[in-house]
Amino acid sequence: MHYRLFGQHTGLRVSELVLGTANFGTRWGYGANLDAARDIVDRYAYAGGNFLDCADVYQFGESEEFLGELLSARRNEFVIATKYTQAAAPNAGVLATGNSRLAMRLSVEASLKRLKTDRIDLYWVHFSDGITPMDEIMRGLDDLVRSGKVLYVGLSDFPAWRAARASTIAELRGWARIAGLQFEHSLVERTSEHELMPAGNALGMGMVAWSPLGGGLLSGKYRQGETGRLEALGGAVFQQENTGQRTAIVDAVLAVAAEVGVSPSAVAVAWVLHKGSLPIIGPRTSKQLTAYLDASELTLAPHHVELLNSVSALSPIFPHTMIDTTASREAAAGGQYKRVVTPERSVG
């Protein structure tokens, strides 16, 4: 497995496949026990993986507890990322949840105890609560970094404009930078490409993609009668095959997988890697892990990328429907657009 720098503002070298641990534990009524989780972590590490993604709410804290147990003798071999916003306990209450500094402080202390560690390598704000100002969030995160309890910080499932504002506030005030963005991204959910991915690219953030299989849809298993997330966890983050385009996408993934001789899961994950994000793989069993790991050894041929891109293509949204047209580009370049060398990265 290859390692990549996490964004443009850190020297953190992380594996290109991120091991998601939402399936570690059984308090949600669906998941892996400790022995199964140990086998997954061991095999992931043997393949070169070092980036673990967790959250306090996963399995109501049991996922973090499992990691604390499994990593006690090898803590410094892994980058541990976890999140706060929902709290670990069901019905935790209004003060322990959300994005406030109080919820942040309560959550980080509890996570450190469950993880049995003195630091969290990457601390994500799990999702926007819609009410806490960005300066409060950023000041709280900066305090945690200065205290040494957190090394890097990131935003998960935030609108692009709020991520950009957070980055600007931190830069102007000398606070800890936003090191990364996390969002859903797959062949059946590409809307993060409208604003989030260009923002992350322009601001030099590491980008992490969750649900690269669309909740398992792109594995093709639901066509074979399996259930998985279709029934488990109340169908959370499951993308259904409910449009003609999605049927065409699954068909294309299966066709590429058959041609290349790998699993459909490997093709779907390899495509996310090709687009520039680090995909979170979330196996519940060792068998599922094997299918995921093949993606790190798979380089999609240009014609396969073109097929997958075209069959899953997004319809543009405003203002891109205007500014990305040839007429607008030429007008903004005095009729010389074809002669202008454009930057590789998005501009900030």
* Residues catalogued as catalytic: 58
| C-beta of residue 112 within 8 angstroms of C-beta of residue 149 | yes
Query: What does DSSP assign to residue 215?
Result: T
Alpha-carbon distance of 17 to 269, in angstroms, equals 9
Q: Is 275 exposed, middle or buried (0-12, 13-18, 19+ CB in 10 A)?
A: buried
Q: Of all helices (H) and strands (E), which one includes residue 298?
A: none
Q: Of all helices (H) and strands (E), which one includes residue 281?
A: strand 278-281
Q: Which residues, including other chains, have CB under 8 Å from residue 59's CB and lie 6 or more apart?
A: 22, 24, 25, 26, 27, 28, 31
Pick from 79, 76, 75: nearest CA to 6: 79
Which amino acid, residue 45? Answer: A
| C-beta of residue 258 within 8 angstroms of C-beta of residue 246 | no
Pick from 294, 189, 288: nearest CA to 238: 189
Alpha-carbon distance of 124 to 120, in angstroms, equals 10
Q: Mind giving me the DSSP string for 47-93?
A: TT--EEE--TTGGGGHHHHHHHHHTTT-GGGSEEEEEESS-SSTT--
Q: Of all helices (H) and strands (E), which one includes residue 232?
A: none
Which segments of the chain does DSSP mark as H helices, in order? 34-46, 62-70, 101-115, 134-147, 160-173, 196-202, 244-260, 264-275, 286-293, 302-311, 320-323, 326-332
